[in-house]
Amino acid sequence: MKVWEVVKKPGFDALVLAQKPEPKPKAGEVLVKMHAAALNYRDLLVVKDASNDSDMPESIIPLSDGAGEVVAIGSNVKDVEVGDRITSCFMPEWIEGPLTAKKQMSALGYLNDGVLAEYSVFPEKGVIRCPGHLSYEEAAALPCAALTAWNALTRRKLLPGSTVLIQGTGGVSLFALQFAKLFGARVIGLSGSAEKIIRLKELGACLTINYRTTVDWARPIMEFTGGIGVDHIIEVGGSATLSNSLSCIRYGGTISIIGQVTGATVQIDLGSILAKDVTLQGIYVGSRKMFEEMNNAITLHKLKPVVDRSFPFEQARAAMEYLESAKHFGKVCITI
C-alpha cells in the first residue's frame, strides 16, 4: 500500500511517499481503508521539526485525523463491524476521565504512526462512527480541531446569551464558532484577511475585526460588549494575542489556552488574571467520551464542518504548503 512518511530531512523534504505492506488487525484491532485525512497546524510542526526532533522515530506515518471504512476486524472486537464508517481518535487511549501522560503518549501522527496511508490499523476503542450526514473529508475534520473546540466550550458552563471570541479562521476557531452558536452564544471573530472576514459574517459572527489593521482589538470588543468583555476566548494565537485577550475577557470569564500560532512565549500581567477572577484552562483535544457527545450534537443539528478544500493523496506536500500559507478558511483535507 502507499503511505506518506516523515523522515529526518529538513523542511517539507521530510515528507516522502513510500510503499509498505498492508497491515493486519490483531486481537481487539480493526483494519480501515482510509478515505480522507485532515491537516492540523500540529502536522506542519511535526514535518518541519522532524530533522531536529530527537524524540521522533526515524520514520513515522503523519497526521492524526482520518476517516474511512472498516474492512476487517481482529478477534475479540465487539462494537465495530466491517462496513462501519469511522474516524480515528486523536489519542486512542484517552477513553474518558482526566488526561494523563500515558493517554497523551498515544496521540497519532507524532511518536506513533498516523493515518496518511491507504490502510490503517486502530484499536477498537480508537475509532468512532462518523455522523451519517458527513462526507469522509468532513468526518476527518473532527478528531482534533472539532473536539478541541468542543472540549473548550463544554468544560465550563456557557450560558445562552454569552459572548465567545474566536481568533482567526482556522480549523479550531471555526468549529468553536459553530458550537458557540449551537449553544446560543454570540460570536466575535478576528481575522487578518478582509475576504475571510466576509465569510466569518456569513457564518454568523456578530462582530468581526481585522487583527492586522486593528492591533489593539480588545478596545472595540470592550466597546461592543458595553464595557463588560467576553465570556469565553478561544486562544489560539499565543504570544501576539494573550495580552489583548486578558484586556477584553470579562470578570469571571474563561480563556481556553489552545494554540500558539504566533509563538509560545508570553509575558502575562498576573494582576489582570487574579483581579478579574479569570480562569485560564489548558485544553488538549479531548477524550473518546467527549467525541461521542460531540458527534451526538453534530448529528442532531446536522452541523457541517467547514472544509476549505481537499487535495489528492499524491499531493500531500502541496496540502501542507497550502496550510502553511494560511490561505485556508476552515479545514484542509486530503482525499485518499
Ligand X SMILES: NC(=O)c1ccc[n+]([C@@H]2O[C@H](COP(=O)([O-])OP(=O)(O)OC[C@H]3O[C@@H](n4cnc5c(N)ncnc54)[C@H](OP(=O)(O)O)[C@@H]3O)[C@@H](O)[C@H]2O)c1
Note the residues at the interface with ligand X (CB under 6 A).
40-42, 144-145, 148, 167-173, 190-193, 196, 211, 236-237, 240-241, 258-262, 283-285, 323, 326
Q: How far is the CB of 115 from ligand X (least distance, A)?
A: 16
Strand order in the sheet with 230-235: 207-210, 186-191, 163-167, 230-235, 249-257, 279-282
Q: How far is the CB of 264 from ligand X (least distance, A)?
A: 9
Query: Which stretch of DSSP H or E encloses residue 3?
Result: strand 2-7
Q: How far is the CB of 309 from ligand X (least distance, A)?
A: 13
Q: How far is the CB of 21 from ligand X (least distance, A)?
A: 32
> How far is it, in rounded angstroms, from Cα 164 to Cα 180?
7
- The residue (of 144 and 158) whose beta carbon lies closer to ligand X is 144
> How far is it, in rounded angstroms, from Cα 254 to Cα 276?
10
φ/ψ of residue 9, rounded to 5: -130, 155
Q: How far is the CB of 25 from ligand X (least distance, A)?
A: 28
- The residue (of 20 and 309) whose beta carbon lies closer to ligand X is 309
Q: How far is the CB of 75 from ligand X (least distance, A)?
A: 34
- The residue (of 123 and 237) whose beta carbon lies closer to ligand X is 237
Tell me the helix, strand and coil percentages in the chain, rounded to 5: 35, 25, 40
Q: Which residue is nearest to ligand X (CB)?
A: 170
- The residue (of 135 and 173) whose beta carbon lies closer to ligand X is 173
What is the separation of C-alpha 71 from the centre of its chain, rounded to a whole number of angstroms?
26
- The residue (of 119 and 167) whose beta carbon lies closer to ligand X is 167
Joined together, the cell numbers standing for residue 220 give: 472595540
Give the SS3 label for residue 216. coil
φ/ψ of residue 32, rounded to 5: -125, 130
- The residue (of 92 and 170) whose beta carbon lies closer to ligand X is 170
